[in-house]
Structure 1
């Protein structure tokens, strides 16, 4: 059941990534056409694209974590017995959860520090951009907890992950 939920979240993140990238391409295309043929552009594109790029970056981090495409040095761990590998995985995931908590807490502090700050041109509250950090950390944290349950189940019952 949890695997199905994780797969669904993976599809949602891929859809969101594609949507954000599509919006960015469309905005740049329209702005290039306007500048080339009409000698005027959309003034807020730089700021809007910057905000979309931040969200796309954090969504990409979540998608990479979901598919294990992130950098992971497994030279030693791959040669360990399965139970030791699972136990070490629990420790590594606990460290990951601590780092995610640290980043999430920092994101909330950053939101408090920038309360009332808006974009110069499009007047979007800056906390919507900062929230991408918290959103990514909570998403990765949920996936890490699901992975930890699988590792604990393997250690306790011997069931495969």
Structure 2
């Protein structure tokens, strides 16, 4: 389907952007540590106050973009044991309900982010002097991308007839199956 392909390509770009933001953040923090501790030990008085602020803003963007990418991969932290222990029909209902709660949550985050971005038009960063709308808009953009990815995952499940109970990671599936078997074994031992 065209939407699924488009979103997957968009996610590759978002992954690169999040990776770039993390790499740049790491470099900026390295500069800050180098100037503060290495140059300070050498008696060179230097200051780079912009590094802490820029690193924080890069981290905010990386988190919101990364969360959106993780939503498409269905790779976020989740407690799958309950869904696997109950009958498959109940597990599917629970999983679909979880998706709906996630969508409602991110719709709320989107609107809260829009309100914050409006405040950002009148504020400037203390050191970098950039409008805070560039920072605050990360929340709305990240939430919108997460909504898009969650809806795309649901469409992908429906169109490609995937099982909503399947997790994307075989290692996790094996761990869940082992935990279920242990649970059933222990339950039988307790009953005897």
Q: Give the structure-1-normalised TM-score.
A: 0.80
Q: Distance in 1 between matches of 2:148 and 2:12?
A: 16
Give the length in aligned residue pairs: 156
- The one-character-per-residue Cα deviations of 1:116-136 (angstroms, maximum 9, x if unpaired) are 001011111111111111111
Instruction: Compare 108-117 and 45-54 and name the one that shifted more.
Output: 108-117
Matched, 1:143 2:144: no
User: Aligned-pair distance for 1:151?
Assistant: 4.1
Q: Who wins on radius of gyration, i.e. which is larger?
A: 2
Q: Distance in 2 between matches of 1:75 and 1:98?
A: 23
Tell me if the contact between 2:120 and 2:136 (Cα under 8 Å) persists in the aligned partners: no
Q: Structure 1 stretch 83-92 or stretch 35-44: which is displaced more?
A: 83-92
- State the match for 1:119 in structure 2: 125
Q: Which residue of 2 aligns with 1:11?
A: 12
TM-score norm. by structure 2 comes to 0.69
Alignment deviations for residues 41-74 of structure 1 (CA, whole Å, 9 cap, x no partner): 3221111111111112222222332322322122
The answer on whether the counterparts of 2:32 and 2:52 sit within 8 Å (CA) in structure 1 is no
Distance 2:77 2:162 in 1: 24
Residues 4 and 156 in structure 2, CA contact (< 8 A), matched pair in contact too: no
Structure 1: stretches of 5+ with no match in the other structure: none
**Contact 1:10–1:63, Cα closer than 8 Å, also in 2:** yes
- Quote how far apart the aligned CAs of 1:92 are: 2.7
Query: What residue number does 2:22 align with?
Result: 21
Residues 67-104 of structure 1: CA deviation (Å, up to 9, x unaligned) = 223221222322533x6554544333222221111111
Match of 1:66 in 2: 72
Q: Which runs of 5+ in 2 are unaligned?
A: 164-192
User: Over aligned residue pairs, what C-alpha RMSD do you find?
Assistant: 2.4
SS at match of 2:81: coil
Question: Cα 1:22–1:151, aligned 2, differ >3 Å: closer, same or farther?
Answer: closer
Range with bigger deviation, 1-10 or 52-61 = 1-10
Distance 1:149 1:33 in 2: 49
